[in-house]
Structure 1
Amino acid sequence: MIFVDGLPFPTDSSQERDALVNLLEHPKLVSASNSFEAMQEVKFSASKERALQGRWVYLFQREFATVDPALIDFIGTDEATTCVGLVIRNQRNGMTSVAHMDSKKVVDTGLTQMLSLVVDKNFEVDLDVHLIGGFEDVLPEQANGSTRSKTLAEVDGYSFPLCTKIIETLRKRQEKFHIQTLYVLRHNTRRDSQGNAYPVFNGFLVKTSTGSVIPASFDRTTRCPDEIVRRIRVSVSYEDPNWNAKLLDTYDTQNDRFVIAPCTWTIWQQHHALTLQDLSDEEILLQCSTSPSAEGPEFVDNLRRQWDYLIQQPLWNLTFPMRHPRVFEWTADGSWKRCLFSPQDSWNEDRAQTSLQRT
């Protein structure tokens, strides 16, 4: 169930579209959106990280992680256009889960994954929730579902159905979700002189000790560890039935390390990468993005680097030898170090077996 400003949000049979619109217009959440928009975006880089003197976890699209504030100081994500970042924080102990959701198909199972380490079944807890991302990728008057001759994406866009599904799922669950920030859709939309829409912010950073959320962007040095492999894993997971309707595991909360579960790719994906590499930047945007005009300057380059990796490494088992995950631990200076897989590590072994595409 949803709470706003300490009060339960009505859970009658009204349409979920109406519930979302009402929340977007709620004075408390409008004020929170205005405050969030007034913040200065933090440009997160390796030098910034050293200045912050803390450990951080970064999430790519479709990934999630749950962190303990005693171990991790910051958690964040960026590169979101039509995607939505969801933050859930236990008010009692500060356990914080963050997801970068890219489809309404992952919401139901994804929310269960997020809550598994945030909610203690022996205690009734209040959960702070922040939703940030998504923008008006279609005009508001179009997002009404009335034009059935068009595809769903043409009528509703991508952001609106995703936000609607998240709100619907939060309302139907028994946990107490206190929405603190709803910086999505029209609140996160700016328009140029021609009326083209863009997100105001594409990312955020959560300070785990306090639960405060600020706008943020990250550079390549802080999107780690294992940036390219994780990006590829996002892409190939859409064809892996083991990840169907699920968010991707990244960070091992109990052992404070990253565990990149194995994924596979085929010769077909190598051929596909070769084909896409021959396209112009404009063609890549049109074919590979849900919001071509709103992508950041690194979007095409990031895709080309993924395709280069697939072309140079056509055999997935060179990246994941013996179907073992890629494990990273902290070093003394606060960076990540790849470590060898241990056969005695049952946690990793279980993840390796359940996440691998059957070939």
Structure 2
Amino acid sequence: MIFVDGLPFASDSSSEPQQQGWDTLQALLDHPSLESASNALKAIPEKKFSVSQDSVPESRWVYLFQREYATVDPAFVNTDFPFTDIKNVSSQSSAKFVGTDEATTCMGLAIRNPENGMTSVAHLDSPKVVDMGLSQMMSLLVQDNMDVELDVHLVGGFEDVSPNHGNCNTRSENQAKLDGYSFPLGAKIIETLLKRPERFHIRTLCILRHNTRRDPEGNAYPIFHGFMISTSTGSIIPASFDETSRCPDEIVRRIRVSASYEDSRWKGRLLETYETQTDLFKIAPCCWTFRQLHIASSLKKYSDSEILLMCSTSPSAEAPDFVKNLRRGWDYLLEYPDWRETFPMKQPRVFERTAEGGWKSQKMEIH
């Protein structure tokens, strides 16, 4: 169930669910309050995050890669820290912020329970992970009070095809192909929010045309590739992250996204990352196949421009480090072709928070 401005948002329940999601998305994009909220977000300067600049406990955050999600309880306090002063307790609590970037045709979804501040964020990359992904996100957000109105922020995606393709009244398979990647993903998210029993109050809908800029030749690009949400206040800001701040375990987590597509255990699911009760990152084991090693070996021989065309859903809109990050992942796969070197005894890779707000690996004891 969707709310806007405190009121249920009407939708045509007589249409098919897919068509209903599409029609409701179009109506939401035209809503004056949501358009105003998008304009307000676009007026906020993008914050660039870097560990070198922000490595203090008060700025601790959880970063999410594509297809990952995390739920954070801002009230949680990690009692494992050796407090010397009770005033330090607030600085040793769970993550203060949750963020993601690198989204072009993907979308970042934040859902927050305003009664307790519990916040779940996901980086959604395909309609196929939306149904199960929303169930994963909701597992900790609503437990006793089903009537609470959850605040929803949706940022990302852009008009990766002509907006005229999205104005038809009927959806055919051929038409869906013309809608690119962003439109079907956004429609599926709205369709799923509509049919779930929880009450979702949409606060931000900076997606599709609201997140599109055009150059003098008319080519479309996303305005924002990411955002950061405060778990204590629920406010969001546009954000980008550099290589030092996409932590921990950046390369392995990037590889895990690709490997998960061939792992039936992750079919239709988002990838778990952060454990708020312990303030730990737990990277579940994944295996890479000979096929993936062969692909890595083959692709790294191509030029940057060729890789961009072959590996991106939106080649003209990617960040400057897109190809560089792909190459770093392929180099890792070829250096460690046996996935069991990365996940000894098939155990997860676990990272704990340092006093400075960074991350360090928990070494596994092998007996």
TM-score, normalised to structure 2, is 0.90
Measure how far apart 1:164 and its partner are.
0.3
Partner of 1:125: 148
C-alpha distance in structure 2 between counterparts of 1:147 and 1:24, whole Å: 18
1:121 CA displacement: 3.3
The match for 2:130 among 107, 120, 125 is: 107
Match of 1:116 in 2: 139
1:319 aligns with 2:342: yes
**Number of the residue aligned with 2:42:** 37
Match of 2:59 in 1: 54
Partner of 1:12: 12
Helix, strand or coil: the match of 1:117? helix
Aligned to 2:80: none
- Report 1 or 2 for greater relative contact order, CA contacts < 8 Å, sequence distance ≥ 6: 2
- In structure 2, what is the equivalent of residue 351 of structure 1? none
Which residue does 2:282 correspond to in 1? Answer: 259
- Letter of the structure 2 residue corresponding to residue 152 of structure 1: A
**Of 148, 151, 156, the match for 2:179:** 156
1:65 aligns with 2:65: no
In 1, are the aligned partners of 2:21 and 2:194 still within 8 Å (CA)? no
Q: TM-score, normalised by structure 1?
A: 0.92
Query: How far 1:148 sits from its partner (Å)?
Result: 5.9
Partner of 1:2: 2
Aligned equivalents of 2:141 and 2:171: distance in 1?
41
For residue 308 of structure 1, what is the aligned residue in structure 2? 331
Matched, 1:335 2:358: yes
Partner of 2:209: 186
Matched-pair contact (CA < 8 Å) for 2:57–2:355: no
Q: Report deviation, 1:122.
A: 5.0
Q: How far off its partner does 1:68 sit?
A: 1.1
**Change beyond 3 A, Cα 1:101–1:149:** closer
Question: How far apart, CA to CA, are the structure 2 residues paired with 1:268 and 1:141?
Answer: 39
Aligned-pair CA distance for 1:283: 1.0
Contact 1:92 1:126 in 2 (8 A): no
Map 1:146-295 onto structure 2 (within 5 A). Answer: 150=174, 152-153=176-177, 155-295=178-318
1:182 & 1:314 partners in 2: Cα distance? 42
Distance 1:169 1:283 in 2: 36
Distance 1:252 1:61 in 2: 18
Counterpart residue identity of residue 285, structure 1: L
Distance 1:123 1:104, change over 3 A: closer
Farther off after superposition, 334-343 or 240-249: 334-343
SS at match of 1:138: coil
- In the TM superposition, residue 244 of structure 1 has moved relative to its aligned partner by 0.2
The 8 Å contact of residues 111 and 150 in structure 2, kept in 1 or not, is answered as yes
Residue pair 1:143, 1:157 contacting (<8 A) in 2 also: no
Note the C-alpha offset of 1:12: 3.0
Per-residue deviation, 1:178: 0.4
1:348 corresponds to: none
Q: How far apart, CA to CA, are the structure 2 residues paired with 1:296 and 1:229?
A: 20
The answer to whether the 8 A contact 2:56-2:356 is kept is no
Unaligned runs of 5+ in 1: 344-359
Provide the C-alpha distance between the structure 1 equivalents of 2:243 and 2:327, rounded to a whole number of angstroms.
Answer: 14
Corresponding residue number in structure 1 for 2:29: 24
Whether the aligned pair in 2 keeps the contact of 1:270 and 1:314 (CA below 8 Å) is yes
**Quick one: distance in 2 between partners of 1:313 and 1:149?**
41
2:62 maps to a residue whose letter is V
- Is 1:87–2:92 an aligned residue pair? no
Amino acid at match of 1:50: S
